[in-house]
Structure 1
Amino acid sequence: MQAFDDDAARAARDRQDSLTKPAGSLGRLEQLAVFMAGWQRRARPRIDRAQALVFAGNHGIVAQGVNPFPAEVTALMVRNFEAGGAAINQLCRVAGADLAVVALDLDRPTADFTQGPAMTPHEVEAAWQRGSEAVDPGADVLILGEMGIGNSTVAAALAACAHGGRAEDWVGPGTGAEGAVLARKQAAVAAGLARHAARDTAGILAAFGGREQAAICGAVMQARALRIPVILDGFICTTAASVLTRDDADALAHCLIGHESAEPGHRRLIAALAMQPVLSLDMRLGEGSGAALALMMLRGALACHDGMATFAEAGIG
């Protein structure tokens, strides 16, 4: 677990205060520059290489009728990502991020968590390792996203188990669940919570998680070891990463939440984590789309931080 470099952050704040602008006038952009400085351990951080990872998995919980789309859509969307036809492809191109899609045993869904654990400890470990191995050690920033029919139900169960509350506090429409489908989502999460009492990261992932959620955790921890700042996407991605805080409250210190999703549970989760999203655009697509947009804001923050003249350089003052 690498730590934030306070000296680099202090040097970045000093530079911000010397730039040709009123102190603090760039608001959150200044905070983002200092955040990057502390994790990259340099007063003038940069993004030469941005990596985007989208993890995909399938879930046995779909047998409970919790999603209006069949599980086969996961594989179809993976092919769409690989063909460059999804929103995340366009946003990564504009944001300057190299996108890779990691499909995790799509032909072997996890088990239905209302009937027993979703994964064995070995399956959790294997998916975690896939996430860890996917991280590029040469990346300056990592953005994370996911795809998996049924995984908003998984996210609601993970959030309730890790952070407390009832099923109805966390369950939302996901890909468009309403009426009877939404009621089945709530019932499935409530049944899972009644069955499983896990409290640590590995136990919660085994009880409820998908392979993509475990892979996200592995990627987040590997990025921490490599001092790579991470931008999390919306509700599902943030929930997966948040399970890490059950073992270490500081586990997400190197992470930003890219955007506040329109999925109802995300605002509750953000409050539980005491974090501030970079953007709020009423999005709920997943795929890493909000994280890719936040990357554009981060690039703008660093461009100002590095490229602006100081008062001395401009001959002002």
Structure 2
Amino acid sequence: MNVLQETIQHIQSANKEMMEQARKRVDALCKPPGSLGKLESIAVQLAGITGQLLPMIDKKVMIVCAADHGVYEEGVTPNPQDVTLFQTLNFSKGGTGVCAIAHITNAKVVTVDVGVKGDILPDAGIIIHKIKHGTANMAKGPAMSREEAIQSIEVGIHVATAEIAQGAHVLGTGEMGIGNTTPSAAILAVLTGCDPLDVTGLGAGVGKGGIEHKAAVIKKAIAINQPNPKDIIDVLAKVGGLEIGAMAGIILAAAAHRKPVVIDGFISTIAALIAYKLEPKVKEYMIPSHASEEPGARIAAELLGVEPMLHMNMRLGEGSGAALAFPILDAACSMIKNMVTLEQSMNLLAER
């Protein structure tokens, strides 16, 4: 049995009894019922995930997965492909957007080379799990083999499991890869059956042909590869990305170890869809962070059945939205732990 199968077999539903206890406590707090909105539902979800009435999520880890894409050859973005390499190196130096945001909650940022085009030295502060130097051009054939797609998921499982073994209480998903909104939109188009133009956006910038050219490339890739929407590994292999698979693995590992995982924007939500297709119970462990500006992000969230909590007009990627949501989880934990109940408040008043 491979690592992916073993991980899926270990995923169980969240603790419903603990969620009921948490709901009763939240409803008993000294406030109008439901007045703290999503903070209340997050606190209840965290209780169910962790099995603790007063969940602790002090140790936060952002895992950023980096890889390149052969479809870059089609001119889907104006950005140089080597941006993936030097930006990946910047994560270990703390100079990226997600690092700056993660810093406010002392979250650790871990970077993984799953398929960067170019070599990264062992002493660069990057975890090296390179499967290949970027995917193949999906507009000419499969982005990767089925075995490589499974490998990419298992990379995410290995890295997430190692961080959990070191004490991580909550994980966040992030990515780096020039051109990776193209495979993300392709996966979504396959799963929904919609016109690629409906789910294709600017990403970090589109090439000379604009969004129409980018969507046409996706349409061509789907026509050439004929990915099976009922076989998510087939979809990932034919029109996906190595870092997308790795993020799906992170989500699966978090669920298998009963840890919450905060999902970033568009690309991370596509990875969440892959994890969900492999094992639907993972959804109980997901906490969506922000509503990305990418048009496919809303469709992907609706398909997954989740509602992002933040609307910040962001589309950076890297896990920036997930890191930004960490303080909200802290607030939910503080609420259920530190607020007095209405009964306690009345007793204190009576003692005066």
TM-score normalized by the length of structure 1: 0.96
Q: CA deviation at 1:197?
A: 2.7
Give the superposition deviation at 1:193: 1.5
How far residue 269 of structure 1 moved from its aligned partner, in angstroms, is: 1.4
CA-to-aligned-CA distance 1:60-86 (integer Å, 9 cap, x gap): 000000011121000111111111111
TM-aligned CA deviation for residue 142 of structure 1: 0.8
Q: Which deviates more from structure 2 when the two are superposed, residues 173-182 or residues 251-260?
A: 173-182
Distance 2:77 2:271 in 1: 19
Alpha-carbon separation, structure 1, partners of 2:139 and 2:248: 23
Q: Which amino acid aligns with 1:134?
A: V
The answer on whether the counterparts of 1:162 and 1:246 sit within 8 Å (CA) in structure 2 is: no
Match of 1:211 in 2: 242
Contact 1:65 1:181 in 2 (8 A): no
Counterpart secondary structure, 1:253? helix
Paired letter, 1:46: M
1:146 aligned counterpart, secondary structure:
strand
Report if the CA contact (8 A) 2:115-2:135 is conserved: no
* Deviation, structure 1 residue 56: 0.5
For 2:276 and 2:114, locate their aligned partners in 1 and report how far apart those are by CA, in whole Å. 24
> 1:311 Cα deviation (Å)?
2.4
CA contact (8 A) 1:131 1:217 kept: yes
2: CA distance, partners of 1:252 / 1:192 = 29
Of 98, 105, 108, 2:108 maps to 98
Report the CA distance between 1:18 and its aligned residue: 1.8
Residue of structure 2 in register with 1:68 after alignment: 78
125-134 or 30-39, which deviates more: 125-134
Give yes or no for contact 2:57–2:330 (8 Å, CA) kept in 1.
Answer: yes
- What is the CA–CA distance in structure 2 between the aligned matches of 1:159 and 1:302, rounded to whole Å? 34
1:197 has 2:222 as partner: no
CA offset at residue 271 of structure 1? 1.6
2:154 maps to what in 1?
129
Aligned to 1:281: 312
1:305 aligns with 2:336: yes
Q: For the residues of structure 1 that align with 2:236 and 2:272, how far apart are their CA atoms?
A: 11
Deviation at 1:207, TM superposition (A): 0.6
One-letter code aligned to 2:228:
A
Assess if the C-alpha contact under 8 Å between 1:59 and 1:150 holds in 2.
Answer: yes
The separation in 2 between residues aligned to 1:304 and 1:58, in whole angstroms, is 42
Alignment of 1:1-317 (within 5 A): 1-107=11-117, 108-135=133-160, 136-137=163-164, 138-177=167-206, 180-195=209-224, 196-199=226-229, 200-314=231-345, 315=347
Give the AA of the match of 2:258. Answer: R
Shift of the 249–302 alpha-carbon distance from structure 1 to 2, 3 Å rule, reads same
The secondary structure found in structure 2 opposite 1:251 is helix
SS of 2:287's equivalent? strand
Output the amino acid matched with 2:288.
Answer: I
Q: How many Å apart are 1:130 and its aligned residue?
A: 1.3
The whole-number CA distance in structure 2 between the counterparts of 1:82 and 1:94 is 17
- How far did residue 183 of structure 1 move? 2.5
Cα distance in structure 2, aligned partners of 1:274 and 1:127: 25
Q: Distance in 2 between the 1:271 and 1:127 partners?
A: 25
Are 1:162 and 1:243, in contact at CA under 8 Å, matched by a contact in 2? no
Deviation at 1:180, TM superposition (A): 1.2
Question: How many angstroms apart in 2 are the aligned matches of 1:109 and 1:300?
Answer: 39
* Native 8 Å contact 2:62 2:108 kept in 1: yes
Q: What's the offset of the Cα at 1:163? A: 2.5
Distance 2:53 2:192 in 1: 35
Residue 241 of structure 1: how far off its partner (Å): 1.9
Task: Give the Cα–Cα distance (whole angstroms) in 1 for the partners of residues 284 and 238 of structure 2.
Answer: 25
Letter of the structure 2 residue corresponding to residue 220 of structure 1: I
Inter-partner Cα distance in structure 2 for 1:68 and 1:89 = 25
Distance 1:310 1:253 in 2: 27
Q: Alpha-carbon deviations, 1:234-269, whole Å to 9, x = none?
A: 001111221233344443221121100011111111
1:178 deviates by 6.2
Q: TM-score w.r.t. structure 2 length?
A: 0.87
CA shift, 1:306, in A, is: 0.7
